[in-house]
Structure 1
Amino acid sequence: MSDHDDTVLGEVLASFAQTPDPRTRQVLEAVTRHVHALVEELRPTMAEWEQAIAFLTEVGHTSDATRQEFVLLSDVLGVSMLVETINGDPHGTEGTVLGPFHMTESPQRALGDSVDLLGTGTPCVVTGSVNTEDGTPIPGASVDIWQCDENGFYDVQQPDTQPPGNGRGLFTTDEAGRFWFRTVVPSHYPIPTDGPVGRMLEASLRHPYRPAHIHFIAEAPGFREVTTHAFVAGSPYIDSDAVFAVKQSLVIDFAEVDDPEQAERFDVPVPFRHAHFDIRLARGED
């Protein structure tokens, strides 16, 4: 690094010296140091720097009320999973990425309701529970779920063919900490590739696919919220998720069931698929 580079960095860092909030000052100083180090390492031309600015500008322009391209960028660079790992608790269910499609509020649904508003796809029943680290049930816990349909699309991607709230539901666990709902088996799917993040993947010869999964956010007063997935065992791309979010503990068997009595109990046709997903919450701030 040249003396001039040292001088510029020092001047910028000194400009933050009076920042009242210590954490804000720490963040500003760290970002400045790392960006300067990155520029020093890469030595970009002016044209390359302008290209980088244009890329980030387009990422911002691509984001809207139902799509978050910056979240997508964070996901494909593995940063989202790094933040999840740093903030995870070893006593609770492993966390994964929020993803770019949790942009619509899930409708309140009763236990046993269906989140499938289309009546297509392979019928599926998801059961589970929310518990403490030692397995004690947590009644009244909130379980927010969202998923794509059997063709790999979320409701916000197909507003002309999927009604709002399709594949989404906000459930409350019963007195034994249990939840259950009806749905369809989701498909693997590509993350959006029609924006700058998609072009970045294409330039690096990376595929855009995610394995089939259902998103969950579970929370309860006095416990740490967890954002996680239930991945469909055997799904394509289970070993090469485009956003690096698969964890073995979250891979769940969506088993085929042909028992008429169970089908009648859950009000689904036979055969259907059944997945069971228990969630552990670590104690902490609500």
Structure 2
Amino acid sequence: MPIESERAVTQAVLRAVEQSADARHAELVGALVRHLHEFIRETRLSEQELEFAFDFLNRIGQATNDSHNEAALFSDALGASTLVCLLNNGDGAATETASALLGPFWRLNAPELENGASLLRSPTPGTPLLMRGSVQDDTGKPIAGVRVDVWQASPVGLYENQDAEQAEMNLRGVFSTDADGRFHFESVRPAGYPVPMHGPTGDMLRKQNRQSYRPAHLHFLLFRNGFKTLITQVFPGDDPHLDDDPVFGVTANLIGNYTTENAGTEQERCVLDYRFTMQPGEARLPVPPIK
């Protein structure tokens, strides 16, 4: 049927979408069409602005490669990743641990390490860090045999896949909780770092006069059959960017208490103790954003 008005465009597209035999597909794309068309009407989008949007989306794809996922970064910078995470995992109010976005730098097949091992595989100057973790269920019972995947940026603010000076899989490792639900490892205190600014996401942040530094954090992915996979981050409470994280990943329950031992001596180090709570559910690994 010929399109007779701008309102008829939306209805025609929705009728086409509803022909899908996949009900969830029809629901998602139908909602996308309705909201997208209303956005165009509300803003009276110009033809030039639509051309800009085409170019922007193309540049997201062109900026993505095996070591960088621009689409994930763009989603993070719009708060979409955190919103999806909180909608699907709750806000952490009932337990100590809230979920947090996966981020664009998780990799599969990090080395499996014994408790107490170091994440360092190449010289990595920085304040030594001892991290002691425990994992429990929502009744407070320890959970043994949890695979705890850990990754972090170096003190210069780069993950090892971004930095030719770091060895492969530096500052990454997988640990298993013991019979008491505990694990621990050594590393260096993480530092804040700017999100990658070379692509269209960086252009957007500059256009909005937003600062680009993420607060310092450690990433954790906890996996065990019978429990919902927990993806989270832990931040030091003294970081200056807790309130203006460009990817909106900081929640109150994820601020950890870093303490200092042997201050002012050669043995000075940071210590982080943190308890993770896992909920019953499906154990599922996410799709890695990079290789």
- TM-score (ref. length: structure 1): 0.92
2:114 paired residue number: 110
Q: CA deviation at 1:47?
A: 1.3
RMSD of aligned residue pairs (Cα, Å): 1.7
Partners of 2:124 and 2:52 lie apart in 1 by 46
The residue aligned with 2:279 is 282
1:1-286 aligned at under 5 Å gives the runs 4-89=5-90, 90=92, 91-92=94-95, 93-117=97-121, 118-158=123-163, 160-258=164-262, 270-286=267-283
Mapped contact 1:223–1:281 kept (Cα < 8 A): yes
- Write the deviation string for residues 90-142 of structure 1: whole angstroms up to 9, x where unpaired: 44420111111114532211111100222421111100111101110110001
Structure 1 portions without partners, runs of 5+: 260-268
The answer on whether the counterparts of 2:18 and 2:30 sit within 8 Å (CA) in structure 1 is no
C-alpha deviation, 1:238, in angstroms = 1.4
Q: Moved runs in structure 1, 4+ residues, more than 4 A?
A: none
One-letter amino acid of the structure 1 residue matched with residue 120 of structure 2: D
CA distance in 2, matches of 1:103, 1:168: 9
- Cα distance in structure 1, aligned partners of 2:87 and 2:27: 18
* Deviations, residues 144-166 of structure 1 (Å, cap 9, x unaligned): 111001111110111x2011111
Which ranges of structure 2 fall in alignment gaps of 5 or more residues? Answer: 284-291
* Count of residue pairs brought into register by the alignment: 276
Q: Percent identity?
A: 35
Q: By how many angstroms is 1:184 displaced?
A: 0.2
Q: Which range moves more in the overlay, 98-107 or 137-146? A: 98-107
1:174 and 1:32 map into 2 onto residues whose CA distance is: 50
SS in 1 for 2:103: coil
Code of the aligned partner of 1:207: Q
